[in-house]
Amino acid sequence: MTKGGSAETAKGDSAELGRDGVWAAPGRVNIIGEHTDYNGGYMLPIALPHTVSCAVTRRADETVRVSSRQQDGGWVAAPIDGLDDASITGWARYPLGVVREFQRRGYRLPGVDLALDGNVPAGAGLSSSAAVECAVAVALRDLFAPGIGDDELVDIAHTAENDYVGVPSGILDQSASIHCTAGHALFLDANTGAREQVPFDLAASELALLVVDTNAPHQLVGGEYAERRTQCERAAAELGVKLLREITDPSAVDRLSDPVLRRRARHVVTENARVLEVVQLLSAGSDPRLIGPTLSAAHASLRDDFEVSTEELDTAVEIACATGAYGARMVGGGFGGSIIALVDAAAVAGIAANIDDGFLRHAFAPPRSFVAIASAGAQRIG
Ligand code: GLA
């Protein structure tokens, strides 16, 4: 592998970028259903308007190069059949892992330049990594392997993240990035693969989904996420099921002798029930305000039973709920990242300002807020 020098920066030959097309894939927030995916459970993400784009130019040789406007250092290049090289490190493993996964599955690709750019906040628990993987995956599929269906595309991006990057994540992020559609939340069943588009138009009810990135570092490669997965697997084995999703009665987890495993399992079992409750309300066309208490209950469960929240996340949720939100919760894997709060559209600025003030009082880093609108999944944009 070589790193491009100054003569070979992504910006330097921008006239050449994307001759064969440009694709974009979004980040996500999950309305509800956290740490359920690897337990075979339910989720309900929306795609964000924030995306990562991938501009593709076919090369005459057998080299694959990737660049990112969000990373210094120009191009990272490797022979297309040499992607197992352990010296490929850092951010480049996300896009190159996808290229390698196409190859591993027998899809032949020519040499390509993949120029990435994007505005999904990184390290905010909003799936900037999945957006990179899915932008590359959808571009390579459309250009070189059009027979691949969307389900396999999710699998390619997810396998690249698990096997090549080494993050033992579930299918939530890549599924959201590929399958979400504008104006809908995506109801997903990780066990059967079934999915349903659920109308999600908060503006029609004069509501908004406020996202607050706490700006506290979020890193899934660390051991905590993997430890939660292992604990869930142990709990399932002790309860005599393959996946915790098979348990629907919360009192069944009382049979677990270890209090930690009991708490972890209780979160998963109650979280699956909360997803079904929210989906039922939204599908019935009820006032979306009614899902607020369920969002807050999910936060309490992630904080107390799954123990993946942080002081910053808890503070943001508390302030939002104390100053007018109908419900709020941390999103994503936890240990930092963002919260969502369901608020009146007219109250967005006030509640965001209250959270800013609270963070200042606590001497936390300043948070960043925006309103999330259910947006489109991965697609060609140029
Ligand atoms: C991260 C992982 C997902 C999922 C969430 C928690 O975002 O990448 O697979 O497990 O955490 O719901």
Q: pLDDT at position 218, please?
A: 61
Over residues 137-177, the pLDDT tens digits come to 999 999 999 999 999 999 999 999 999 998 899 999 999 99
Q: Report how far Cα 142 is from the mean position of its chain's Cα atoms.
A: 22
From the alpha carbon of 334, which atom of ligand 1 is closest? 11
The pLDDT, as a whole number, for residue 18 is 86
Q: Which residues of the chain have pLDDT under 50?
A: 1-12, 14-15, 221
- How much is the pLDDT for 12? 43
For the chain, list the domains and their CATH numbers: 8-196 (3.30.230.10), 201-372 (3.30.70.890)
What's residue 11's pLDDT? 43
pLDDT (0 to 100) of residue 72 = 85
Q: What is the pTM of this model?
A: 0.94
Task: Give the residue, by CA position, lying nearest to ligand 1 atom 11.
Answer: 333
Sheet holding 195-199, edge to edge: 42-43, 184-189, 195-199
Distance CA 313, CA 306 (A): 14
d(CA 252, CA 266): 9
Give the chain's radius of gyration (CA, Å).
Answer: 21
Strand partners, 358: none
Ligand 1 midpoint to CA 191 (Å): 15
Task: Give the torsion sign (CA, 34, 374, 196, 162).
Answer: negative
Q: Which atom of ligand 1 is nearest to the CA of 125?
A: 7
Gap from CA of 22 to ligand 1 centroid (Å):
27
Between the CA of 123 and the centroid of ligand 1 the distance, in Å, is 13
- Rounded Cα distance between 221 and 93, Å, is 13
Write the residue with the smallest CA distance to atom 9 of ligand 1: 170
- Position 328 scores a pLDDT of 99
Q: What is the pLDDT of residue 222?
A: 63
Q: From the DSSP assignment, how many helices (H) and strands (E) are in the chain?
A: 9, 14
Q: Which of 333, 351, 332, 355 has the alpha carbon at shortest distance from 343?
A: 351
Tens-place pLDDT, residues 208-238: 999 999 998 665 546 899 999 999 999 999 9
Q: What is the pLDDT of residue 180?
A: 98
pLDDT of residue 219: 58
Residue 126's SS3 state is coil
Calpha distance 371→353 (Å, rounded): 13
User: In the prediction, which pLDDT does 3 show?
Assistant: 36
- The residue contributing the CA closest to ligand 1 atom 2 is 169
d(CA 255, CA 271): 19
